Structure 1
Amino acid sequence: MRTILVVGGGYAGFYTAWGLEKRLRRGEARVVVVDPRPYMTYQPFLPEVVAGSVEARHAAVSLRRHLRTTELVNGSVTKIDHEHRTVTVRPAVGEEFPVPYDVLVVTAGAVTRKLAVPGVADSAIGMKHVEEAVAIRDRLLTAFDQAAVLPAPQRRRLLTFTFVGGGFSGVEGFGELMSLAHSLVRKYPALSPAELNFHLVEARGRILPEVTEEPGRWVVRHLTRRGGTVHLNAQLRSAVNGHVVLSTGEEWDSELIVWTAGNGANPLVHNHTDLPIDERGQVVVRADLRIGTDTAPVADAWAAGDDASVPDLTIARPGAATVPNAQHAVRQGRLLAKNIVAVLRGREPKPYVHHSLGTVATLGLGRGIFQWRRVVIKGFPAWLMHRGYHVLAVPTWERKVRVAAVWATALFFGRDIVSLASVQNPRRAFETGGEPAPAAAPARARG
C-alpha cells in the first residue's frame, strides 16, 4: 500500500486529505498528514474572533475529528528529501525522526512576512492564527479595564490601537476591532468614544488591492467616518516599546500593534527542500498541480495553496499565477485529491481552472463590502453576504451549526466582553495566594 504524505494541515492540506478519504478504496493508499497544530484554522473567521462574534474554537476545525482514517503526525517538517522520498519531522517533544512516503503533497502554507523594522518582533502581534486573534481581543478588553481607573492624560496609550497592512486581513481586523471598541465604550462611563484612537497604516496609496480603486476609496472614507485614521503611502519605521514612527514623520504610542503586512514564502519550502522553486520562494507547479514544469515534471510530487505557484488559466497573461487566498486553496485541495486518485488508477489529472466568485469583506458588525467584476454592494447587504458565504464555506456541518448558533445568540444578548488574558499566566493566582500583583507604572506619552 502506497503512502501519500501531506505536509501541512491548512486549507489545501485538509481538503486534500478529506477528499482522499472519500475517494480512496480500502487498502489503496495510506494518507499521512504532518502539522504542528491539531486543527485547521478557518482564517476568514479570525476578524470576527477578534470582535467576539465567533467563538475561537469554532474557527478551528479539528483534524482528528474530521480526518477519521488519516494518520496524523503532530510535528513540523524541517526537511523534504524527495530524491529519497523522506521528510524529517521535529515533534514538540523529543528527537527529530524521518517519515518515508511514496507520494508527496506540499501544502505547508505561507507565513507572516516580517520586515526588519525595529521593535516589530518584540511589540507587534500577527493575525494568522486563532491564538493571535484571541490575544488581540483580550488586549483590547484588558486595556479598557485598565484605562477606566486612570486619569484621562494617562490613558491615551491604552486606548490607541494600530494595524499595519491594508490588505483584507488588516482592513477586516481593523474594522471589526473598531466596531467592538465603540460598542464596548458605552459600558464604561468613565471613558469617551472620542478617546479611542485607531490607526491603519498602508505603504501603498490604496487599501484592499483585491477590489478596484473606487470601492477601496469608499472603504477609506467609511472607516474615517467611524473614527479611524488611515495612513496611506506610509511605512512603519519603528515600533520600539510600542512607540509607532512612520515614514511620514507621524508618531504615537500604541497599546496594540497588529502586523498584517502580507505573507511570505514558507522557510521549509524556500530553504529546506530539493524541489524546484521560483524567484518568490514558491514551489513551481503545473496547471494540474503536479510539481515541476510541462517539460520537467517531478514524479510523485504535488503542491497547492499559498506556497505553490499555480498557473492561473483564467488570465491570458503568460506566467500569471493564482492569488494566495482561501478561495483558491480550498478548490485546489479538492482537485488535488481527485487528481492524485486519478493518477493512482492510471487516468490523466485535470488542470486547475477557477473563475473568481468575487471578493467580500466584513468591516464590523452590520458593515461590509462585496465586489464581483463591476458589481459593488456596500453596507449591511454585503455584511449579510459575508456571513452567509462563510457559514456555508466553513468545512463540516458541525462547525456550520456551532457558528450559526453563536451568531443567533448574539442577536439577543450581544457579544461576550469577558477578557481571558489571564490564561496566558494561569499560575499567577496560585503563586500569589490571592495577593494582588504590584501595579505597573503607566507609560508616559511621547511627543
Structure 2
Amino acid sequence: MSAINSGANAPKILIVGGGYAGFYTAFKLEKHLKQGEAEVTLVDPLPYLTYQPFLPEVVAGSIEARHVVTSHRRHLRKTSIVSGKVTNVDHKTKTATIEVAGLAPYKMQYDQIVVTAGAVSRTFPIPGVADHAIGLKTIEEAVEIRNRIMTNLDKAANLPAGAARDRLLTFVVVGGGFAGIETFAEMRSLVSYLLRYYPTISFADTHFHLIEAMGRIMPEVAQDTSEWVIANLDKRGAKIHLNTQLQSAENGKIELSTGESFESDVIVWTAGVMAHPFVRNTDLPLDERGRITAKATLQVVEGEKVIVDAWTAGDVSAVPDLSGGGVGGFCVPNAQHAVRQAKLLAKNIVATLRNQTIEEYLHKNLGAVAGLGIGVGVYQYKKLAIKGVIAWFMHRGYHGLAMPMWERKIRVVSGWVWNFLLRRDIVAISATKEPRLAFATFASRPKA
C-alpha cells in the first residue's frame, strides 16, 4: 500500500476529474500529506492530463501529440487511480457512483470530495454542427484535425479545379477567443508550410475562414492588439468574419448570417466552453451556468452556507476572483487559474485535516500570450503589448515552463529543437481510425 493510503482508518478523499485542477490537487496532496494521514483516489476516464494550451501546436505538428499529455500513473504514485467515471454524487450520504468498463456500476464512500470535472465544448443547436464539426478540447481532436488537413491536401492534389477540390481546401474555425485564434493561425501556418510539397496546389487555392459572432476577437487583449492579429492573419490569407453568425453547417455547407456560403470538410468549433454536465447528477449547488458554486477558499457553498467536506476548482466551478479581473466577478476558465487553485485547494484540505486555518484564492493575471504560427505571437499585460517573434518566444517560454512535469517539459522543448533542425514533420497517420482494415481486407477466411 502507498504512503498516503496506508492508514486503515484514514479519511478518504475522492477527486473527480484528472485535468489540471484534479491532477495538481492530487500531486500536491501527495507532497503535503503525512504517511497514513489520508487515502486519495482520483477518478477519470482518461489515464492522463492534457495540456490544452498546446493543442493548436499539435494541430500544426510543432509538438508530438503524446508529449502534450501527462500520465496519471507515472506521476501520482501515492494516489489510487480509477480509470472510469463518476456518474452520480450524493453528498448527503457521501456516496459516489462509479462506472468502469467491464464492471457493474459500484458505489464508493468518501469523507471529502473534490469536484474538478472540467469543461466541455459549449455548442448551440445549429444544423450540421453536431454531425460535421469537431471541437478542440482533447488531444484526440487535435490529432484528428491535423490528419484531416493533411489528408485533404493529399486528395485535392489529384483533383481538377472545381467544387470538390475547393471543399477539400476550405478550412473553417468557429469562435474568436484565444483557442479559436491560435488554432486558426496554426492551421494556416501548417498549410502554408505544406504547399511546398504539393506543386499542384497554390496558395490562392486554399481558403481559411474564422467566424465570430461578436465585433472583435480575443477579448483578453486590447482592441488595437486584436486588430493587429486580424491584419496579420489577413495578410497570410486567413479571413476573419466579425459580427457574423454560423446559421448552418448541414452536410458541410457553411451558411453565414451575412449571406455568404461555401463548403468545407474541416469545421473546428471553439466557441466557448461550459461546465461538465456531470455535475447535474450531484446534489451540490450550481449557478445559472451550471457551475458548482464556491467560496474563495474553494469550498462548495450554497448561498452563504458552506457545504462541509466538499471542494471544487477549475472550469467546473464558479470561484470568486478577488483580484477584480474576472468576468462577472468569477475566475475565467483557463489553465492559469485551474493549476493555482488546485495547489491552494490541496493545502486547504490538509489544513482542515489538521484543524488549521485555510486560505482564500487570490491570483492576479500575469497577462495573456498567444502563439499564431511559427515566429508570430502576441502578448498583452495591461497597456503593454508585444507583437511578432518576441511574443512568440514568450509564448513558447511561458507554456514550456507551465507544462506539467520536467520529463514532459524536456520532451516538448527537445521536439521544438528537432523541428528547427530537421523541419516540421508532415506525416499523418489517419489509418489509426480503422487499424484492422489492412489486415481484415486480405485475411483468409473459412470457405462457406
TM bucket, shorter chain: over 0.9
Q: Aligned partner of 1:145: which letter?
A: D
Q: Secondary structure at the match of 1:6?
A: strand
1:175 and 2:220 equivalent? no
| 1:342 to 2:351 alignment | yes
1:260 to 260, 263, 270: 270
1:90 Cα offset (Å): 1.6
Deviations 1:123-177 (Å, cap 9, x if unpaired)?
A: 0000000000000000001011111111122411110000001111110000001
Is 1:402 paired with 2:411? yes
Q: Deviations over 1:357-398 (max 9, x none)?
A: 000001111111000011000010000000000110111110
1:63 corresponds to which of 47, 66, 72: 72
1:278 to 270, 278, 287: 287
| Match in the other structure for 2:57 | 48
Distance of 1:251 and 1:350 partners within structure 2: 53
Match of 2:174 in 1: 164
Q: Would you say 1:240 and 2:245 are equivalent positions?
A: no
- Residues in 2 aligned to 1:87 and 1:316: alpha-carbon distance in whole angstroms: 35
Q: Go from structure 1 to structure 2 and tell me whether the alpha carbon gap of 1:317 and 1:259 turns closer, same or farther (over 3 Å shift).
A: closer
Q: 1:31 and 1:396, CA in 2 relative to 1: closer, same or farther beyond 3 A?
A: same
1:333 corresponds to 2:342: yes
Which of residues 117, 131, 147 in structure 1 aligns to 2:156? 147
Q: In the alignment, which of 356, 365, 386 is matched to residue 365 of structure 2? A: 356
Q: Measure, in 1, the Cα distance between the counterparts of 2:87 and 2:419.
A: 43
C-alpha displacement of 1:92: 2.8
CA distance in 2, matches of 1:316, 1:56: 33
- Structure 1-normalised TM-score? 0.95
**Quick one: which of 228, 231, 234 aligns to 2:241?**
231
Equivalent residue number for residue 366 of structure 1: 375
- TM superposition score normalised by structure 2: 0.95
Q: Percent identity, please.
A: 55
Structure 1: distance between partners of 2:101 and 2:161:
46
Which residue of 2 is the match for residue 288 of structure 1?
297
CA distance in 2 between partners of 1:194 and 1:31 (Å): 56
**Secondary structure of residue in 1 paired with 2:352:** helix
* Number of equivalenced pairs: 433
Q: What is the Cα deviation at residue 280 of structure 1?
A: 1.0
Q: Distance in 1 between matches of 2:261 and 2:357?
A: 58
Task: Name the CA distance, whole Å, in 2 between partners of 1:148 and 1:166.
Answer: 30
Deviation at 1:218, TM superposition (A): 1.1
Call closer, same or farther: CA 1:294–1:193 in 2, change over 3 Å: same
1:209 and 2:219 matched:
yes
Q: Deviations over 1:170-196 (max 9, x none)?
A: 100000011000000111111101101
**Do the aligned partners of 1:33 and 1:71 also contact (CA within 8 Å) in 2?**
yes
Q: Tell me what 1:385 maps to.
A: 394
| Alpha carbons 2:325, 2:364 under 8 Å: kept | no
Q: Is it true that 1:13 corresponds to 2:22 in the alignment?
A: yes
- How big is the shift at 1:257? 0.2
Name the CA shift for 1:412/1:299 in 2 (closer, same or farther; >3 Å). same
SS at match of 1:244: strand
Aligned 8 A contact 1:286 1:294 in 2: no
Query: In the alignment, is the contact (CA less than 8 A) between 2:368 and 2:381 conserved in 1?
Result: yes
| Alignment-derived partner of residue 4 in structure 2 | none
Contact 2:275/2:317, CA 8 A, preserved across alignment: no
Once the 2 structures are TM-superposed, how far is the Cα of residue 414 of structure 1 from its aligned partner?
1.0
Aligned to 1:126: 135
- Range moving further from structure 2, 307-316 or 227-236: 307-316
The alpha carbon displacement at 1:94 in A equals 2.7
Deviation at 1:317, TM superposition (A): 9.1
Taking a change above 3 Å as real, the CA distance of residues 17 and 220 of structure 1, as seen in their structure-2 partners, is same
CA contact (8 A) 2:211 2:246 kept: yes
- Structure 1 portions without partners, runs of 5+: 435-447
SS of match in other structure, 1:183: helix
Equivalent of residue 300 in structure 1, options 294, 305, 309? 309
What's the offset of the Cα at 1:266? 1.4
Corresponding residue for residue 426 of structure 1: 435
Alpha-carbon RMSD: 1.3
Q: Is the 8 A contact 2:156 2:165 kept in 1?
A: yes
